[in-house]
Amino acid sequence: MAAVDYQQLLQDVMAEALGGGARGRSADYIPALAAADPGAFGMAIATVDGAVHGVGEWERAFSIQSVSKLFTLALALAEGGDGLWRGVGREPSGNPFNSLVQLETEHGIPRNPFINAGALVVTDRLLELTGDAVGAVREFLRTESGNPEVGTDDAVAASEARHGHRNAALAHFIASYGNLRNPVDSVLAHYYAHCAISASCRDLALAGLFLARHGVRVDGSRLLSRSEAKRINAVMLTCGTYDAAGEFAYRVGLPGKSGVGGGVLAILPGRGSVCVWSPGLDAAGNSVLGVAALDALTTATGWSVF
């Protein structure tokens, strides 16, 4: 097999993604996100050997938002094991990402760790296990990316809190079923803080490599067993992109996790990790150009897992 020219590949993929017409709209529920240019674009690929390539604004930090849910999940499983699944399911939700309906039907057990409700439960468990959920995520991202600048944007976190009645409702609702172990306010504070972490495509692509390496971190230590890592990939594929997981699997064919800051992190099992960033979102909350670029990538390379 000829060596892949990743730099050329990224140039081609970016060109194709930007060539499409639609850009979507930046998230507007908090001012910090609304200011972003919907057409901004960056993309990075890291390979399992630790090399990283990028195009566009691939080194510019952005608000990772729900992409953080992937890391809280991995860390909570690494620290606490399978018991996590007693408090959160792993089925697609079939409903918009912050819906309360299903939570009520299913008695306070959120459907999966990637909807807001589920991420609150995971944050609660990680907080219980480590005493500092946001610190644990931040430290992990810094180590894996080698970038000590990765950190929470406090203005974004404060803004999320001010506009966070929905998440507060979710947290109280889950608490009413006895499915939170820390006070609602603490859980929310850690949740807002890890969603407000700023990192670049470069940082996230490197930080995602532990899943491409089936559980092995940058320093060669094992965070998760091979089987656990594969299972996180499975949950990403079925649940990682809000109510468009089926569409994402259909078009892209990779495990991926998106955030309303415009980031999408996707895993190429055994090969590497890709992060795209572009703030314009579609109706489901996923980056329009981000998904288009990943679609172009797997179409060009056949790297879909299917």
Using alpha carbons, select from 93, 66, 94, 112 the residue that is nearest to residue 290: 66
The residue among 134 and 249 lying less far from its own copies, judged by its C-beta, is 249
Structure token pair of residue 282? 């579609």
The residue among 142 and 231 lying less far from its own copies, judged by its C-beta, is 231
Tell me: is residue 93 an annotated ligand-binding position: no
Using CA atoms, how far apart are residues 185 and 245, in angstroms rounded to an integer? 30
Tell me: is residue 305 an annotated ligand-binding position: no
Smallest separation (angstroms) from its own copies to the CB of 66: 17
Tell me: is residue 191 an annotated ligand-binding position: yes
Going 130 to 131 to 134 to 139, the CA torsion angle's sign is: negative
Show Cβ contacts of residue 174 under 8 Å, excluding neighbours closer than 6 positions: 103, 108, 110, 117, 120, 121, 180
Smallest separation (angstroms) from its own copies to the CB of 149: 31
Tell me: is residue 68 an annotated ligand-binding position: no
Tell me: is residue 177 an annotated ligand-binding position: no
The residue among 102 and 143 lying less far from its own copies, judged by its C-beta, is 102
CA 91 to chain centre: 17
Q: Which residues pair with 54 in a beta bridge?
A: 44
Residues forming the site for its own copies (CB under 8 A) = 89-95, 99-102, 104, 111-112, 165-166, 168-173, 175-176, 184, 226-227, 229-231, 233-235, 237-239, 243-247, 249-251, 253, 255, 267, 269, 299, 302, 304-306
Q: Which residues pair with 267 in a beta bridge?
A: 273
The residue among 147 and 179 lying less far from its own copies, judged by its C-beta, is 179
Binding residues for substrate: 66, 116, 160, 167, 191, 242, 260
